[in-house]
Chains A and B, each alone.
Chain A
Amino acid sequence: MNAFRQLVGIQARRTMREPAAVFFMLAFAPMFAVAMGLIFGNEPVAQFGGRGYLDANLVSFTAIIVVILGLIIVPVDILSQRDSGALRRFRATPLRPGTYVAADVLVRFVISLTSIVVMLAIGILAFGARPEGNLGSVLLVAALGVVVFLAVGYALAAVLPSQGVGQALGNILVFPLIFLSGAAVPLDVLPDDVRRVAQVSPLTQLVELLRGLWDGQPWSEQWVPVVVLLGLLAVAGVVASRFFRWE
């Protein structure tokens, strides 16, 4: 228990000491909401069925945070610690891998969710974005999204050979996934074929789920994205716990 507490404290401080991590995990989402709010405002627009830009899009920015977290930040940090031998040094102690991973997950979960909550608060309080559904459900799904993509990050760290590969793969995948998810560009403007392909991406499913709940659709209509996300969580969790290694 003492080891867990120490690890939580150290991971939190390590993260806050790295400018890139602070930016992407904490500051990026609120800044993105502010920028979009200043550029597009939240005046009613016909394109969004008489709602404002932020009303229609704010919640989907969540996907940008979680995909950067899961595909770049987590695997690159874990892989760089494995490459440098830092994880190997832990192996020479009685520390259990599960304790290490649990502490790391907790810290990253809290930071990322904080960032998402601040982003939503800015959109709602500063620009007047209004959810038509239940905000609690939206936050629940945001938390689920963070957990799913944290698991993906650990799964990638478990199977990829080095930090360089992790960095390259993350950078290659992140931008198409964001593009196809509808979080940055509305899917309506894309050709039908591209939209069909986009449905395969779990990130697109996360955006659909967040939007659906934000727009006030009932949970009963959301079973496809929920199943996709829980399925991905299960697969990534199994891969991560089976193949995670100190060296």
Chain B
Amino acid sequence: MSTAIRCEGVVKHYGPVRAVDGVSFEVQRGEIFGVIGPNGAGKTTLLECLEGLRSRDGGVVEVLGVDPEREVREVRRRTGVQLQSSALPSRITVGEALALFASFYERPADWRALLTRLGLEEKRDTLVEKLSGGQRQRVFVALALVNDPEVVFLDELTTGLDPQSRHAIWDLVRDLRDQGTTVLLTTHFMEEAERLCDRVAIVDHGTVVALGTVDDLVASIDAESRLTFSVDGRPPVEQLQAVTGVTRVEATGDRVVVHGNGSRFPQGVLGVLADQDLRMRDLRSDQPNLEDVFLTLTGHAMREGVVS
């Protein structure tokens, strides 16, 4: 695999604020790479430096082998961009927007096929401002793909969308990756990163605090999983505590919470219940996720207002 995007020690400050403070990573061709972190972490500024929309104050950026600041047109030609806050001129239709943006490129994709793929073929003659939020977002995704880009940048792709639109757009992004397009996206939704990204860089206060696959990052923090359920009858607390990997068992009435490490202990727990011939109800399993990774690494929660 070859490198699609490389950045090394990228710095961007606004006055005294270091919005991006020495970020380095590489994105391979054909992968979905997520830059994740809370609002205000510097994700959008970083992305704009990579897109060549903002000049950096230090460091090296290469997109498809060229510096996006120096060879702006080359990067514009070969990449697609979906901006976080974006708009189109008022009073134009979906079809007009696509035809217009296609005309900016020498070898555009077939924009009609693109509309069909995004489920917008019936909206071709609708004014963009009359679309729902999800439909409009799909138009902006279509605009990002209208030049058949080798690399596509998606900034907060699904913010403000309903779950159905969100899933539809995730499917589309996976399709893109499967066809060989490199995708770099930013998100503050951990679920989006977990479901979509091959690798992620977790960013906080302008620096990368962790880099890797979601599974590796979650495994690296060595956090406990939790199994919660109710049983008919007295919970077999001692037997559960003896299961390999279990660290702690809490029982309140018939409700039981089993804490443990690794991926094998739930099986042991089920075995104990089967041996005791106890019926289990309302089973819930909580695995550590990227939120926990973020919390462990930074000491504060991803979302504002969430007290850890």
Contact = CB atoms under 8 A, between A and B. Distances in A.
Given A6-B99, A10-B100, A94-B73, A89 B86 contact: yes
Q: Interface majority SS on A: helix, strand, loop or mixed? A: helix
Interface residues of B, number: 23
Given A10-B96, A88-B83, A91-B53, A5 B103 contact: yes
Contacts of B103: 2-3, 5-7
A218 interface: no
Q: Interface majority SS on B: helix, strand, loop or mixed? A: loop
B76 A92 contact: yes
B105 A94 contact: yes
A88 B101 CA distance: 13
B124 to A, nearest CB: 14
Interface residues of A, number: 22
A86 interface: yes
Contacts of B105: 93-94
A95 interface: yes
Given A7-B100, A92-B51, A92-B53, A14 B92 contact: yes
A10 B90 contact: no
A18 B87 contact: no
Interface in A10-27: 10, 13-14, 17-18
A94 B85 CA distance: 19
Interface in B183-215: none
Interface stretch (A77-85, A126-134, A144-152, A187-195): A77-85
Contacts, number: 63
A183 to B, nearest CB: 30
B104 A94 contact: yes
A4 B143 CA distance: 18
B91 A92 contact: no
B88 interface: yes
Interface in A29-82: 80-81
Contacts of A17: 91
B233 interface: no
Interface in B79-123: 81, 83, 85-92, 96, 99-101, 103-105
Contacts of A13: 91-92, 96
Contact of B85 (A3, A10, A85, A91): A85
Contacts of A80: 90
Nearest to B146: A93
Contact of A14 (B73, B77, B83, B89): B89
Contacts of B89: 10, 14, 81, 86
Interface string A214-227: 00000000000000
Contacts of B77: 94
Among B51, B76, B96, B104, the most chain A Cβ lie within 10 Å of the Cβ of B104
Among A2, A3, A92, A93, the most chain B Cβ lie within 10 Å of the Cβ of A92
B87 A89 contact: yes
Contacts of A5: 103
Nearest to A246: B53
Interface in B125-172: 143
Given A10-B100, A91-B53, 4 more contacts: A6-B100, A7-B103, A18-B90, A94-B73
15 contacts: A6-B100, A7-B100, A10-B92, A13-B92, A14-B89, A17-B91, A18-B90, A81-B90, A88-B83, A89-B143, A92-B53, A92-B81, A93-B76, A93-B104, A93-B105
Closest 8 A/B residue pairs (Cβ): A84-B87, A6-B103, A92-B81, A85-B87, A86-B87, A17-B91, A94-B76, A93-B104
